[in-house]
Amino acid sequence: MASLTLDRLCKRYDGGVAAVNGISLDIADGEFIVVVGPSGCGKSTLLRMVAGLETATSGSVLIDGRAVDRLEPGRRDIAMVFQNYALYPHMTVEGNMAYGLRNRGTPGAEIAARVRRAAEILELSDLLQRRPSQLSGGQRQRVAMGRAIVRDPKVFLFDEPLSNLDAKLRVQMRVEIKRLQRRLGTTALYVTHDQVEAMTLADRLVVMNRGVAEQIGPPMELYEHPATTFVAGFIGAPAMGLFPAGWDGRFARLAPDIPLALPGFAAPPQPVRIGIRPEHVALREPGRGAFDATVEIVEPLGADTLVHLSHDGLSRELVVRTAGGFGPAPGERVGVEFPGARLHVFDVEGRRLTPVRPEPLAEETLQCLPVA
């Protein structure tokens, strides 16, 4: 186990394009860090620099306080699990897991013991003599993780390891990876574009956008207090609704007929953007909320229902998460309530604005209320 430090890490390509632009991060011994962001944001480049597969333009990678920038990948004591498994098709499961140790000259008895231990942890003991072509996608991914485990590395690196699996298997493997990392206690840096995966796995999240870390922190901190509109729109499914608003001296107005009180804000700069999570919107009877809207689409999800609403004054649809089994029919009118203490306010540059005095949350604003 080890600590991992990224010190002002940069990667620029020909033409001055910055794939990674000055990221600094201290990862504690045994911590599970997830880097999340859209395609092209620089997250895989960041991981490859840590692994030694890409050379940093500037900055340093340190493991236990020791710079490893000039070390070859095989000498960094790092194990990487790839998206495509990277298994040797002509080797058995046992051969794939033992290959790296044999190359390092590890004694045969130690190799056998390490492979046996990893196979037991990953429930692969009955599959050791099979070849990758005889395995399911989830089994292949477990073999790839087993190959990393047997090396007993200081740091695990995961490069979108679940993206080739179907939805059900991704959920199962996500749980297995988290259980495995907790059991082994190994420091882990995990890259994904899936924000649900990121939220459920991470001790801390790094949200990247265009080579920059927009925000770093525990998953729920980023969910409840996003620093920018990018983080607000990326973390959460469905995403936070973001609406432009003007300020008339008393209220923020999403539309002429939608005035919103902003608790704690005396006079925000204008214009602002107002954010609201789908689960924090309350539905009322028509005429009983802050404004009325028309139901466009209803998506029953079992435990929850998503209701898509339109209003002539809003720049986009408003999505509401409400109780499963409840949902007005498309075309119906409903009242909509925005609990003031649950509103997020951002400036024109997309940066979060903090109220002078935060409003305490009222108990009744914590859930959507069905239309009577």
Mean pLDDT, consecutive 10-residue segments, the chain of 372 residues? Answer: 92 88 95 94 95 94 94 91 88 94 91 93 92 91 90 92 86 88 92 92 96 96 96 92 85 84 70 92 90 94 92 91 85 90 89 70 38 36
- Distance between CA atoms of residues 209 and 211, nearest Å: 6
Residue 214: inside a domain, yes or no? yes
pLDDT score recorded for residue 357: 56
Task: Give 126: exposed, middle or buried? Use CB within 10 Å, 0-12, 13-18, 19+.
Answer: exposed
Residue 171: inside a domain, yes or no? yes
Residue 77: inside a domain, yes or no? yes
Of 224, 251, 281, the one marking the end of a domain is: 224
- Where is 79: in which H helix or E strand? strand 78-81
Specify whether 134 is located in the same domain as 253: no
Specify whether 212 is located in the same domain as 313: no
Specify whether 306 is located in the same domain as 157: no
| Residue the block writes with tokens 């995990």 | 190
Specify whether 187 is located in the same domain as 67: yes
pLDDT score recorded for residue 279: 93
- Distance between CA atoms of residues 372 and 334, nearest Å: 10
- Distance between CA atoms of residues 73 and 49, nearest Å: 10
Encode 15-32: b = buried (16+ Cβ within 10 Å), e = exposed. eeebbbbebebebeebbb
pLDDT score recorded for residue 192: 94
pLDDT score recorded for residue 361: 45
pLDDT score recorded for residue 168: 86
Specify whether 278 is located in the same domain as 352: yes
- Distance between CA atoms of residues 359 and 188, nearest Å: 38
pLDDT score recorded for residue 61: 96
pTM assigned to the model = 0.88
Domain, as residue range, for 108: 4-224
Rg of the chain taking only CA atoms, in angstroms: 25
Specify whether 348 is located in the same domain as 305: yes
pLDDT score recorded for residue 55: 93
Residue 304: inside a domain, yes or no? yes
Specify whether 54 is located in the same domain as 98: yes
Specify whether 195 is located in the same domain as 257: no
Specify whether 67 is located in the same domain as 200: yes
pLDDT score recorded for residue 226: 96
Q: Decide the pairing of beta strands 155-159 and 187-192.
A: parallel
- Where is 207: in which H helix or E strand? strand 204-209
